[in-house]
Amino acid sequence: MVVAQLLNALAYGALLTLLASGLALIYGLRNVMNFAHGSVYLLAAYTAATIGSATSFWVALVAVPLLFAVVGGPVLEYGVLRPLGSRPPLVTALVLFGGALVLEWVQVAVFGTKQRLVEAPGPLAGTTSVLGADYPTYRLFLVLVGIGSVLGLAAWLRLTRTGLHVRAVSADPVTARMAGVDTQRLGTLVVCLSVGFAGFAGVLAGPYVAVDPGMGQAVLVICLIVVVLGGVGSIAGAVAAALLVAFVQVFGSVTVPAIATVLPYVLLVAVLVWRPQGLVPGRVAA
């Protein structure tokens, strides 16, 4: 029972991690809070459900994140972030909030408002015995993907030259520029990566949660909580906070189901009282 809940929390945490680390990355590099992140995820989930039912889940799993990173990333970068680069971050945030509404309209116009049920693909469809308890195989897959992507992101940030530059710009953009880091190119890369991550999370969410038009807003709010909890702009903090929120939500729904939906917010208030700068303080814009 506890093992199953633990895995549930990890599976949900994996999804939140993918989304929140994308938000934190973009914030660290571009000083922009992407209020359209949830809508990108929503659009990706519907695109994946459509592509997946026409071909297979695996095609969608590769094609959708690529499509979003290659098409959506540049649209965000060259259509919104670059033209508004000299404006205050608040202007960009509000424009992106408008963008979120437009994307939601696109989702309804293209895919309709019907809820989609996505089947887990063949080898992941059944259940697997974990310590004597049957557990849905797809959620195990989610856990593995989540761990894999966190490790991959950490390796990229810690071991590669680009990762070093990302950390440098995130810590101090002016000095990093003076030291010869091409912040523009790096920013574009990170924006594409972030949108791709949201697309990836959208595909993965299909067989795990019901794909419906409200999923974007719901996840955006949780992701904002995660990012604030973790310390705005801090990637390590975002990962830690994503897991914390997932655990609180999953175990809360078992132990105190009456108030489970409010628990993430209680956590937010508690952290705001206790450590207003977040769990792992990052760079916080004025």
Partner 1 sequence: MTRTVQDPLAATWTTPTTSEPTRRRPRWLPPVIILVVFGAGLAVPRVVTDRYLLGLLVAGLVLGLAALAVGFLADQLGLYTFGIGAFYGSGAYGFALATGLWQWQPLVALLFAIGASAVIATAVGALIARLPVIAFLMVTLALTQMCAELVQLQALRPYLGGDNGVIVSFEGTLFGLAQGDLGPAGIWPLVWCAVALAVLALHQARRGWFGARLRGIRENEERMRFSGFGTYAPRVVAFVLASSVAALGGVLHALSKGFVTPEIVGFGFAGTSLIATLVGGTATLLGPLAGAVLYTTAQSMLSTSGHLPLFMGLAIAGVVIFLPGGVGGLVRACLAAAWRRIFKGERDARH
Considering only residues 190 to 219 of the shown chain, the ones binding partner 1 according to CB under 8 A are 217
Instruction: Give yes or no for a contact between 69 and 49, defined as CB atoms under 8 angstroms apart.
Output: no
Interface region with partner 1, contact rule CB under 8 A, candidates 65-73, 136-144, 241-249, 272-280: 272-280
Instruction: Give yes or no for a contact between 68 and 195, defined as CB atoms under 8 angstroms apart.
Output: yes
Outline where DSSP puts E strands in the chain. 127-130, 133-136
Q: Binding residue for partner 1 (CB under 8 A) from 7, 26, 33, 64?
A: 33
Instruction: Based on the shown chain and the rule CB under 8 A, indicate whether residue 258 belongs to the binding site for partner 1.
Output: yes
Query: From CA 195, how far away is CA 187, in angstroms rounded?
Result: 12
Instruction: Based on the shown chain and the rule CB under 8 A, indicate whether residue 75 belongs to the binding site for partner 1.
Output: no
How big is the site for partner 1, counted in residues (CB under 8 A)?
40
Instruction: Based on the shown chain and the rule CB under 8 A, indicate whether residue 108 belongs to the binding site for partner 1.
Output: yes
- Distance from the first to the final alpha carbon of the chain: 45
CB of 198 to partner 1, least distance (A): 17
| Residues in contact with partner 1, shown as a per-residue x/- string from 219 to 248 under the rule CB under 8 A | --x--xx-xx---x----------------
Query: Which of 217, 198, 213, 188 is closest to 22 using CA atoms?
Result: 198
**Separation in Å, CA 124 to CA 8, 176, 208:** 16, 45, 12
Q: Which residues contact 84 (CB under 8 A, 6 or more apart)?
A: 91, 92, 95
Of residues 123 and 276, the one with the C-beta less far from partner 1:
276
CB of 202 to partner 1, least distance (A): 19
Instruction: Based on the shown chain and the rule CB under 8 A, indicate whether residue 104 belongs to the binding site for partner 1.
Output: yes
Query: From CA 98, how far away is CA 21, in angstroms rounded?
Result: 22
Instruction: Based on the shown chain and the rule CB under 8 A, indicate whether residue 93 belongs to the binding site for partner 1.
Output: yes
List interacting residues with partner 1 (CB under 8 A). 33, 84, 87, 89-91, 93-95, 97-105, 108-109, 217, 221, 224-225, 227-228, 232, 258-259, 261-262, 265, 268-269, 272-273, 276, 284-286
